[in-house]
Structure 1
Amino acid sequence: MLKKTIPHIYALGDQAITIEWSSTISEEVNNQVMHSFQFLGLNPIEGITDMIPAYSSLTLIYNPGIIRKQAMGGSPFEWLKKKLATLTVAPSLNAKESTPQIVPVCYDLSLAPDLIEATQLTGCTIEEIIALHTSKIYKVYMLGFLPGFAYMASVNQRIQMPRKSNPRKMVKAGSVGIAGEQTGIYPIDAPGGWQLIGQTPMKIFDITKEDPCLFKPGYFVQFKAITLEQFHQFNTV
């Protein structure tokens, strides 16, 4: 049974409202975020144009004109705030079983520029880092930073590492990194400061597809180690 926490609801400009349950990374809190996200998806409020779930908050983008009509000319924010407060007593949705998405990762040093440094930061061997990184099933808490970039948590405490003090000007798409208790995959070539410990041959973001993002908030992911040969053969016929 999901234990409800009373959230803080506040304005984010004049066309958005945020419901915040906490300021920490917590699966229990994120379950409440996803519950509200799913509940509003099934019970939409007219005038809400987009919903953005994060680790511990849900931001709603809305059309002030449409909301003002429902508020009978009153404040769109105050009307929405009162409406959204009922989410704390909304009936819980039945949790769906989710099979983790298996993501192949090559941890060869040629594709893992920070793996040696990671052994120094953590005190673990390369083999231990790989074993610990692939042993857990990670939850996708949110998308952000880059199109399709999935923030996943939480990595084993033994391999938690800080971001690089000097971010790289370019990180190759598919690079798998760790930052604190988070792990993630760069969906496109972009600057970045996460500790890079491997690379996946899978395409994480594909603009040619109707749904370009491989992951969505609430998904589960598990990494599987592959060899360098398997990495290069992945997309060959």
Structure 2
Amino acid sequence: MSGHRFSFGNDRIGTMETVGLDALMIRLFDTIDEANVGWLLALVERLRGTFGDHLVDLVPSYTTVLVHYDVLALDMDQARARVRQAALGLAPAASAQGREHRVPVWYHPTVGPDLARLAELSGLTVDEVVRRHCAKAYRVFALGFTPGFAFMGLVEPALAAPRLTTPRQRIAAGSVGIGERQTAIYPSDSPGGWNLLGRTPVQLYVAGQSLFNPGDSVRFEAISRERFIELGGDPMPLEGNQP
């Protein structure tokens, strides 16, 4: 780690990096791990308290928290001092587990054009790919890309697959995919390069609110085409949806 160092969690060392006149990047870890989430969310709550009305925004991610503060109220040294104060005695809180979500998915090549290819790459059957993708709960690491898009993980190594070399120009809202060892759902029609397994009828971003938040857990459940349509899903495949 590089930057201004500080202690957290007794024997752990983090860093602060200046990323603008009014922003600090707080780095607690160097590698992505589900165990990081509790620490990062605990720090977010501490930072809300130490910055108070001088806080503009907080953006947690895989290993970092981006802090935007009121530069008219605090200078850089004062902002760093508040970060150090927030980190004192930090511990991951049990309350940082977030909400649990169950998301129904119709896994089928019609709406998951990469499903068969992923099965071939992994040496598994399509049914086994689906079973394994549904076998665990995934933590929400961060939100980004488009409103409501949640980066989740980690999928088991056998299911990991690189993103497409050439992203698709349009992916349907509700499409469920894998990129490297992460999984995600496209909340709206958009371009994208994740490997698509299926589609969910669940709406992820409504009235300016995201269904998922960092720290939440998500478990996928396979459903039939009939159930998918009954729940309001759109079964129409996209034109030119091959990679």
Give TM-score scaled by structure 1 length. Answer: 0.88
Partners of 1:91 and 1:115 lie apart in 2 by 42
1:155 and 2:152 aligned: no
- Alignment partner, residue 68 of structure 2: 61
Q: 1:233 aligns with which of 223, 230, 235?
A: 230
Partners of 1:3 and 1:156 lie apart in 2 by 32
CA contact (8 A) 1:140 1:219 kept: yes
1:36 and 2:43 aligned: yes
SS of corresponding position for 2:13: coil
Partners of 2:200 and 2:186 lie apart in 1 by 10
- Report how far residue 88 of structure 1 moved: 2.9
- Alignment partner, residue 83 of structure 1: 82
CA contact (8 A) 1:6 1:88 kept: no
CA contact (8 A) 2:39 2:92 kept: no
Partners of 1:197 and 1:56 lie apart in 2 by 27
CA contact (8 A) 2:105 2:220 kept: yes
Give TM-score scaled by structure 2 length. Answer: 0.86
Partners of 2:151 and 2:172 lie apart in 1 by 17
1:19 maps to a residue whose letter is I
- Alignment partner, residue 73 of structure 1: none
1:204 and 2:204 aligned: yes
CA contact (8 A) 1:47 1:63 kept: yes
- Report how far residue 42 of structure 1 moved: 4.6
Deviates more, 1:113-122 or 1:132-141: 113-122
Task: Extract unaligned runs of 5+ from structure 2.
Answer: 1-8, 234-243
Moved segments of 4+, more than 6 Å: none
1:175 maps to a residue whose letter is S
Partners of 2:64 and 2:94 lie apart in 1 by 19
- Alignment partner, residue 138 of structure 2: 138
Partners of 1:193 and 1:215 lie apart in 2 by 21
Partners of 1:129 and 1:3 lie apart in 2 by 41
CA contact (8 A) 2:38 2:92 kept: no
Partners of 1:148 and 1:4 lie apart in 2 by 35
1:1-237 alignment, distance < 5 Å = 5-67=12-74, 76-92=75-91, 94-96=93-95, 98=98, 100-206=100-206, 209=207, 211-235=208-232
- Report how far residue 155 of structure 1 moved: 0.5
- Report how far residue 44 of structure 1 moved: 4.1
- Report how far residue 197 of structure 1 moved: 0.4
Task: Extract unaligned runs of 5+ from structure 1.
Answer: 68-75
Partners of 1:190 and 1:104 lie apart in 2 by 21
Distance 1:121 1:152, change over 3 A: same
SS of corresponding position for 2:121: helix
How many residue pairs get aligned? The number is 224
Counting aligned pairs with the same residue, the percent is 32
- Report how far residue 21 of structure 1 moved: 1.4
CA contact (8 A) 1:5 1:88 kept: no
